[in-house]
Structures are given as structure tokens and as C-alpha cells.
Amino acid sequence: MIRLTRLDNSKFIVNCDLIEFIEEGHNTIITLRTNKKIHVKENVDDVLSKIISYKQMCFSRPYYTDNDKIIINSNISDTIDDNNLNSNKDIIDIEKKEDE
């Protein structure tokens, strides 16, 4: 889901998986798979950037450091700590697992 702006300055969120075409002209026209057309203020590069950022966030994995810590992707607002959500921490400890 990405947040975009209609020509009348109203904000809306669209499911980027439903986007079939993005046309650049006087304004940007997004065509959905349903053939609905949406005129937006953002240019094509901005829309593509938002789609890429969203997809990266969806498919990213935590990064494991050598210090047995997990660094959660900075785009994700919450991290898991002792089975509770804690938005104040970016790094959490994990137990080191020995290879057998």
C-alpha cells in the first residue's frame, strides 16, 4: 500500500499490487487492473520509488550481526523484545546457537 495525492490535494492509499500502468504526461495517470484510472500529483519516479520502498519493507529480513544481535530494518517501526512490541529499541539480543 502506498500513499499518494490526487489532483485536488486529497490523500489516499492504493494497493500497489493492483497497478497495471503508470503514464507520465501533464500529470501522472495510474491505471489499475480493474481499468480504473487515477490522476495523481506525484511524478512517475516518485510513484515507482514509493512502490520499491514498500516492496523492500515487505520482503526485507532482519540483519544478523557478529555480536549476536538482530538489527531490524529501519523502515519498520516496532521490534520484538521478550515477546513484546517495543518501538524504543532498534537492536535486540538473541541467543547464540551453536552448530552441531
pLDDT of res. 73: 52
Question: Are 7 and 39 contacting, i.e. CB atoms less than 8 angstroms apart?
Answer: yes
Q: Are residues 55 and 67 in the same domain?
A: no
Question: Are 37 and 6 contacting, i.e. CB atoms less than 8 angstroms apart?
Answer: no
Instruction: Write down the pTM of the prediction.
Output: 0.60
Per this entry, what is the length of the chain? 100
| Residue 100 resides in a domain | no
Q: Are residues 55 and 83 in the same domain?
A: no
Q: Are residues 22 and 71 in the same domain?
A: no
Q: Are residues 45 and 77 in the same domain?
A: no
Question: Are 65 and 47 contacting, i.e. CB atoms less than 8 angstroms apart?
Answer: no
Mean pLDDT, each 10-residue run in order, the chain (100 residues):
96 96 95 97 96 85 56 46 41 45
Range of the domain at 68: 63-93
Alpha helices in the chain (DSSP H): 44-59
For the chain, what is the domain count? Answer: 2
Q: Are residues 54 and 67 in the same domain?
A: no
State the Cα angle at 51 between 44 and 75, rounded to 5°.
130
Q: How far apart are CA 73 and CA 67, in angstroms?
A: 17
| Residue 99 resides in a domain | no
pLDDT of res. 42: 96
Q: Are residues 19 and 54 in the same domain?
A: yes
Quick check: helix, strand or coil at residue 59?
Answer: helix
Amino acid identity for residue 58 in this structure: C
pLDDT of res. 64: 54
Q: How far apart are CA 16 and CA 33, in angstroms?
A: 10
Q: Are residues 79 and 55 in the same domain?
A: no
